[in-house]
């Protein structure tokens, strides 16, 4: 038995919870600090405005608590922390605005700019833009590796580093 709020969960790869909503919300900041890719499963209660990646509803005819005779299982995958400005070779910039696993991206190369809507699944980032534009990347703590970046020929990959301040170095 331990204090839930002071227990070190950093080595866990899966967290299961059956806690009341207010306790889930108190735990949310600690859960978001876990390693990207850590899975969280909660029975019946969510994590507020952090929407689950998947919800499964199961009939439970003999359930004694509550009016509904069902249970909801919610699953989240802790997203990598991609929010901010990332800098690459030749003035390449990627600005990520992240809210949990959702992300809006602005890709800038010279005077060309493209917008993408994306989703993080652990360290994997997949974003779609206008037409058939796709941006696929892996987020590490200090870099983002983009596979087949938009507007780059020949195809390959490029690494961007987290900006040291509010702008990329010249």
Q: Could you count the other beta carbons within 10 Å of the beta carbon of residue 118?
A: 21
CA 54 from chain center: how many Å?
14
d(CA 160, CA 170): 14
41 exposure class (CB count in 10 Å sphere: 0-12, 13-18, 19+): middle
For 118, phi and psi rounded to 5 degrees?
-135, 175
Write down the pLDDT at residue 155.
67
Write down the pLDDT at residue 154.
61
What would the pLDDT profile of 78-92 be if each residue is shown by its tens digit? 999 999 999 999 889
150 secondary structure, DSSP code: T
What is each CA distance from 72 to 58, 67, 76, 100, 114, in whole angstroms? Answer: 6, 13, 13, 21, 39
Q: Are 54 and 35 in contact (CB under 8 A)?
A: no
65 secondary structure, DSSP code: S
Q: How confident is the prediction for the chain on average, in pLDDT?
A: 92
Write down the pLDDT at residue 67.
81
Write down the pLDDT at residue 130.
87
What is the pLDDT tens value at each position of the chain, 170 positions in all? 788 888 999 999 999 999 999 999 999 999 999 999 999 999 999 999 999 999 999 999 898 877 888 999 999 999 999 999 999 998 899 999 999 999 999 999 889 999 999 999 999 999 999 888 899 999 999 999 999 887 766 667 899 999 988 899 87
Q: Is the omega angle on the peptide bond into residue 154 within 30 degrees of 0, that is, cis? A: yes
- pTM of the predicted model, to two decimals? 0.90
């Amino acid at each position: 038995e331990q204090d839930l709020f002071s227990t070190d969960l950093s080595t866990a790869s899966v967290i299961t919870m059956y806690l009341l909503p207010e306790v889930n919300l108190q735990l949310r900041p600690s859960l978001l600090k876990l390693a990207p890719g850590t899975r969280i499963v909660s029975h019946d209660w969510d994590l507020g405005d952090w929407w689950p990646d998947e919800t499964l509803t199961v009939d439970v005819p003999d359930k004694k608590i509550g009016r509904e005779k069902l249970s909801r299982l919610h699953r989240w995958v802790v997203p990598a922390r991609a929010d901010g400005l990332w800098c690459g070779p030749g003035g390449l910039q990627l600005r990520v605005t992240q809210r949990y696993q959702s992300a809006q991206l602005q890709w800038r190369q010279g005077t060309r700019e493209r917008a993408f809507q994306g989703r993080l699944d652990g360290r994997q980032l997949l974003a779609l833009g206008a037409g058939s534009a796709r941006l696929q990347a892996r987020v590490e703590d200090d870099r983002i590796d983009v596979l087949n970046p938009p507007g780059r020929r020949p195809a390959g990959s490029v690494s961007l580093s987290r900006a040291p301040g509010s702008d990329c170095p010249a």
